[in-house]
Structure 1
Amino acid sequence: MNSFWIILFHTYLNKLKSKSFIITTVITVLIVLALTNINNIIGLFDKNGGKENVAVLDETGELYEPFKQQLKTINKDIKLTLYKGSEKEAEKAVEKGDFKGVIQLQFNAEKLPEATFKAMSIADSSLFTDLQTSLQQVKTMLTASKINLAPAQLQKLYEPVSFEKFALEKNAKTEEELNQARGLVYVLLFIIYFAVIMYANMIAMEVATEKSSRVMEILISSVSPIKQMFAKILGIGLLSLTQLAAFLIVGYYSLTKNMETLKDGFFGVYGFKDIPLETIVYAVIFFILGYFLYATLAAFLGSLVSRIEDVQQMITPMTLMVVAGFMIAMFGLGKPDAPFITATSYIPFFTPMIMFLRVGMLTIPAWEAFLGIAILIATIIVLAIFGARVYRGGVLMYGKSNSFKDIKKALQLTKNE
């Protein structure tokens, strides 16, 4: 058993000290810090402190004030300035960078407002939309006054309809709870997706590298291939937990420091307060089981190749299964109770992401989650037994790997030992 732990910790420490691991970790930590400080970073490049200054040429002499008041209710970060010069002078001011753009207000033949907006680029659709929406509201007010609608009547006309949602299912999540769950599931799905792809690939590359350098011939003479496979899986699993712990600690600390600036964006809609402990526990369980499922698959696929160049070709079907599961889960964020989502949550290679999606978004019976976990564990055991046999013969195979027919050759070599 000592040889097992030696390989496990050798794999862990060797990867932990590698330049690629350190560089990847540092770059990812910087990306996490950048995402949680995105508003502060944008502010550094914004000389107007987040304000967008727009010049207004009001040819009517009547529209500027109501237009300005309506815009305040939509976006307070857009500053309007009544420009007294000519249209050409306003355009030159935009070219110099004094204004983000210039909007020209005028009346049409029916004495209703219309406008022309000019800017150096019209790629900023949000600015144009806010200006257009504000002017549309001014037009609505003027139209209402023409047909003698009182302000109270107009307010009543545009008052949002009362539309409440109630779930009849017992213990069903409220809309606020669903938003919180959706945010957590969204983040953790990405973690599971990237972790499985990255670390499963790492295992396959590790095995292929040792085979290509003929180190495997030395190892199998002293340690059984089965011990090698599981030692590498656990070693890189430990490495993944170390790296993810660093990401989560940095991300959580930075997020708590910048929550005030982020509350109007993603984190304002998908809150992360009062996350149920049950959801966190399921996230950890499905992450670990998903890792072992794909790591075992990657290990024996990696044992079939003798050159590092062949690794990606061999594990491509596995990668596509992860991508398919992720895409189904993204669809399920909008319709977590769809029959298609329920059915695919019991397919082992999709279960880590899709069953977790259902657990996080819905109030499902505990037996369904436990059944998903049982299916995963059973699949991992079967895959581990089969994978160990393939791995045992695969590490003895050299030469170009052409297809999955090599699995049969590996099994034959195992029988002949």
Structure 2
Amino acid sequence: MREFWIIFKQAFITKTKTKSFIITTLIMVAAIFLLANAQKIIDGVQQASSGSEEPVIKIMDESGHLVDRLKGQLDDSDIGTRIESTDETEEALSKQLSKEEIDSFMTLSIDENNIIHANYVTMSLVDFSLPTRLQDALQTIQTEMKAEELSLTGSEVQTLFAPIQFEQKNVSPSAKSEDELMQARILVYVLMFVIYFAVIIYSSMIAMEVATEKSSRVMEILISSVSPVKHMFAKVLGIGTLGIVQIIVYGIAGWIAFQTSKSDATEGIQSFFNFSDLNKVTLVYAVIFFLLGYFLYATLAALLGSLVSRTEDVQQMIMPMSLLIIAAFIIAATGLGNPELGYLKFTSYIPFFAPLVMFLRVGMLDLPVWEPLLSIGIMLLTIFVLGWFGARVYKGGVLMYGPSRSLKDIKKAIQLGKE
């Protein structure tokens, strides 16, 4: 086992110290913090670009009394913009806007049916929140005007907008509550991406590592001192541990970023990802299917990587494996809206699709215990068989040199391993 742990440490520590790994990790951590503070950064840039003066909206009120009511509606909310009434013509305001003397303007009028007409004009390409707030305020004024016209009291107006009492009950034996289903859908969606990218990135890394050692002739020295089987599984475990550590770093960075950046956006994201009502067993299944999915594809990647002698051939050789995980992701994604589709149940027992599809079903449905356990058992058996077969191919494949002809080299690798 000493040789195994030496190769394990070499695969883990060497990759950890590479510039590409460090730079990629730092860029991702920085991106997480930028995302968490995006609203603050946008607000700061807007404030800096607009100067120290507060942005101004000039309002031309043809009715003569709407602008005062609008100011009253907006007094309670900090929109970061000052409203000014003006008697200037729309043409004059348009000229001021084109010269950037004002940020925006709005014309207000009331027709013969007592309906408010508003025309908001701006040159900003990303001006979304302010027009929405203005529209909401004007809608409230419109409601008040109609209530006055119909001689309705405030309480009578409230009764017009009273929501109905609607309850939904699902008697399906595999159904979950609405809150659990929503949280499960979010968790499944996030973890599907994590599993997908982890398998794609780290499995490719294993294949590339093996091919690199072969192309540099380092493999010949390693195989003379340690068995190919130990070498393969040490690589798989070492880079797998590296991937887990990197994902944990991203998770910790994300938690710190969103905890230290308190804003409406981050609080909304935190409430969106609130899994307080989620069954903890779902999280356990997430870890299990993540690990099994990784080791299944990583073993296959090590097998395929041993068949090539040049790093340029790695992507071509692992293309079938990449297509498998892409197909699994597409199948699982189609089930987010309806996890009870028939083909999902069938594909959830196919080992190369199970990490995503069965986890989708476990997360969103209340399945009998035997279904996920059967899928896990099939995956474990597949990993064992693939490991046994992969070790035989790996044993001869690491000693094969020359151009790679495709998957036909597997037979040649097995024959070479017997010699």
Q: TM over 0.5: same fold?
A: yes
Q: CA deviation at 1:267?
A: 2.6
Matches of 1:264 and 1:256, distance apart in 2: 9
Letter in 2 for 1:294: Y
Contact 2:258–2:266, Cα closer than 8 Å, also in 1: no
User: Is 1:198–2:201 an aligned residue pair?
Assistant: yes
Of 83, 86, 89, 1:84 maps to: 86
- Partner in structure 2 of residue 183 of structure 1: 186
* 2:416 corresponding residue in structure 1: 413
Are the aligned partners of 1:56 and 1:103 in contact in 2 as well (CA < 8 Å)?
A: yes
The aligned runs of 1:112-123 (5 Å cut-off) are 112-123=115-126
CA RMSD of aligned residues (A): 3.2
Residue 108 (structure 2) pairs with residue 105 (structure 1) = yes
Where do residues 264-413 of structure 1 align in structure 2 (5 Å cutoff)? Answer: 264-273=267-276, 275-413=278-416
In the other structure, the counterpart of 1:5 is 5
Deviation larger for 380-389 or 294-303: 380-389
Q: For the structure 1 residues 230 and 64, does the alpha-carbon distance in structure 2 shift closer, same or farther, using more than 3 Å as the test?
A: same
Residues 1:52 and 1:377: Cα distance change in structure 2 (over 3 Å): farther
Q: Is the 8 A contact 2:55 2:103 kept in 1?
A: yes
Given that 2:71 and 2:83 are in contact with CA atoms closer than 8 Å, whether structure 1 keeps it comes out as no
Residue 179 of structure 1 aligns with an amino acid whose one-letter code is: M
Partners of 1:326 and 1:353 within 8 A in 2:
yes
The alpha-carbon distance between structure 1 residues 63 and 95, as it changes in their structure 2 partners (threshold 3 A), is: same
Structure 2 partner of 1:26: 26
SS of structure 2 residue aligned to 1:221: helix
Deviation at 1:93, TM superposition (A): 5.0
- Conserved 8 A contact 1:83-1:90: no
**Counterpart residue type for residue 297 of structure 1:** L
Number of equivalent positions:
414
TM-score computed with the length of structure 1 as normaliser: 0.86
The answer for unaligned runs of 5 or more in structure 1 is none
| CA deviation string 1:161-181 (max 9, x = no partner) | 332222324695332333333
- Point out the more displaced range, 78-87 or 237-246: 78-87
> Does residue 255 of structure 1 match 2:261?
no
* Stretch of structure 1 that moved more, 54-63 or 107-116: 107-116
Listed one character per residue, the Cα deviations across residues 185-234 of structure 1 (whole Å, up to 9, x for unaligned) are: 33322222221111111101101111111111222222222221111001
Give the AA of the match of 1:213: S
Instruction: After superposing the two structures, state which structure 1 stretch, 372-381 or 391-400, moved more.
Output: 391-400
Shift of 1:67: 5.1
Q: Aligned partner of 1:16: which letter?
A: T
Query: What residue in structure 1 maps to residue 224 of structure 2?
Result: 221
Cα separation, partners in 2 of 1:79 and 1:22, compared to 1, 3 Å? same
TM-score, normalised to structure 2, is 0.85
Q: Deviations over 1:111-137 (max 9, x none)?
A: 532232211145545554554565556
- Unaligned residue ranges in structure 2 (runs of 5+): none
How far 1:300 sits from its partner (Å)? 1.1
Q: Tell me which residue corresponds to 1:41.
A: 41
